[in-house]
Amino acid sequence: MRVRGSRIGRTIAVVLASLLLWTSLGLLEASAGAGVVELRMWHMEQPPHRVQRVQEIIEEFQRQNPDIRIRQEVQNWADVYPKALSAIRARNQPDLLFTIPDFTTVIKATGVIQPVDQLVAQMDKEHRFLRAALEPYQYEGRTWAVPLYGMTHSLWYRKDIFDRAGVAVPRTWDELLAAARTLTGAGRYGIGLPANKHLYTDQTVYNLMITAKAEDIFDASGKVIFDNPQTVRAYRMYRDLWQYSPKDSTGWTWGEAEAAFTSGQAAMIFQFTTILTFDRDAGRPPSDLGVAPIPWPPDGQRGSIFYSNGVMVLTADRAKQEAAYRFIRYLLQPDVYGRFLNMEPGLFLPVTEDGSTAASFWQDPLVVKYRSQVQAMVEQSRYGALFGFTKGRVFPAIGPISAQNVLAQTVQKMIVDGMSPEDAVRWGHRQMESLAR
C-alpha cells in the first residue's frame, strides 16, 4: 500500500508540476503578448515594389525590436481624405499616417494629431532636416509631422526623339511651346499634360504658376489672391501647350503620363520621375532619358512643385507613441534611409543632410545607372514650392482647397468646358474664397 501510495503521490506531483509548467508557460506567453505594442500604419505608396520594400524594412525593424509589431495598410491619394476622416470619426484611425503638408492641415482640424516637437528637434540635431521640408509642418508653435522624403517635378524629355527632330532642350516658355509644336505629328505628341480633377493636374499647372511668379495663393493676411495677371498667364500657357497633348490626357494621372512618355507617344512630360518605368519598358539606354528644369519666361523664375512627404502620429497612447518614435528614428538612420527612399529609385529625395550623402541611397544599382538624372532632380528640389505653403507662411485654408483639387478643376473649366483663362481663373478664385471661409 505504501508503494502504491508513493506511486499515486508521484503521479499527483507530476500532474501538479505539469499544470504549474503549463500555467507558467501560459503566463509567460500572455506576458510576452501583453508586452508587444502593435501599430497600424497607413501610407499611400501603392505600387507593389514599394509595399514590398516598406515591408522588408518593417521586418528588419521588428527583428531588432521584438516588442513592436507594425502592420502597413496601403491606401491611395484618390480617397484617403474622406477615408481618414471616416476612420477618425469612428475612432479607428491608424497610429501612423503618411502625409503631405495640406493633408496635415485637414487631419489637424480633427484634433487627433499629436505634436512631435521633441522628436523632430532631436532628429534635426542628428540628421539636419532641409528647411523646405520641415517648415510646412511647423505652425501655431508646434511641429505636426516628421518629414520623410521629398518629391519635385522636372521636365522629362526623350533625348532620342529630340535628336532625330533636331530640337534643343527648351529653357524658356517660348522654346517649350515651339518644341511641343515641332515634335507633334505622325501619331506623336510634343508634350503630355493632364486635365482632370486630380492631384497630378494640380501639380502640373502649379509648375507654370511658380515659373510665372504666381506661386502665392494667399497674401500675408490670408486673403485669396489667386485671380491675378500672373496666374492667368500661367493658365493661358497651359492651354496653349495642351493643344500638343494627346486628347485622352484629360483623364490622365501619373501612371498614364509615364506610360505615354516611355512608349514615345509624348516627347515631354512634367513628372516627379520616370526612371523606373523608362528603364523597365522603354528599351532605350539611360542617355536617352533627359531631365531638365521646368522652363520659365524671361521675366519669370526657376521653380517647380515640391512636396515634403512626412508621417503623422495619431495615437494618444504613450506606449504606442514611443514605439512609433523608435520606428521613425530607425527609418532616418542613414544606413536604412537610402533603402527606404529607393523603394522607388529616383522618385523620393532625401530631406536630411546626412541622407543626401548616404551610401545606402547612392549605391542603389538603379541610382548608379541614372546618377546624372538623380543629381538633376536633387538640384531641382532646391527651387521647389508648394501651394499654400509659400514664403514661410502656412495657411490651413489650403487643406479644403487642395482636397477639392481647385487648381485642377480650373484647368478643366478651361480645357474641357472651353472657358477663357481669365474666366476659368475667376471661377477658381471664387471656389477658393468659398472653401476658405
Summarised one tens digit per residue, pLDDT across range 297-346 is 999 999 999 999 999 999 999 999 999 999 999 999 999 999 999 998 87
Burial of 404 (0-12, 13-18, 19+ CB in 10 A): middle
Q: Among residues 103, 105, 141, 138, which one has the least CA distance to residue 124?
A: 138
Q: Among residues 298, 316, 191, which one has the least CA distance to residue 244?
A: 191
Among 61-70, 74-83, 115-124, 174-183, the least confident range: 74-83
What gap in Å lies between CA 410 and CA 421, rounded to an integer? 9
Element (H, E) at 54: helix 48-64
pTM: 0.80
| Band of residue 14 on the pLDDT scale cut at 50, 70, 90 | very low
| pLDDT digit string, tens, across residues 98-136 | 999 989 999 999 999 999 999 999 999 999 998 889 989
Q: Among residues 120, 67, 121, 77, which one has the least CA distance to residue 97?
A: 77
| 298 DSSP 8-state letter | T
| pLDDT digit string, tens, across residues 372-419 | 999 999 889 888 889 988 877 788 788 889 889 999 999 999 999 999
- Which residues have C-beta within 8 Å of that of residue 334, sequence separation ≥ 6? 127, 354, 355, 358, 359, 360
**pLDDT of amino acid 395:** 81
Residue with cell 494618444: 316
CB-CB neighbours of 125 under 10 Å: 8
What gap in Å lies between CA 306 and CA 351, rounded to an integer? 11
CA–CA distances in Å: residue 188 to residues 101, 184, 200, 246, 338: 37, 5, 22, 8, 37
| pLDDT digit string, tens, across residues 269-287 | 999 999 989 999 999 999 9
Q: What share of the chain has pLDDT > 70, as a percent?
A: 92
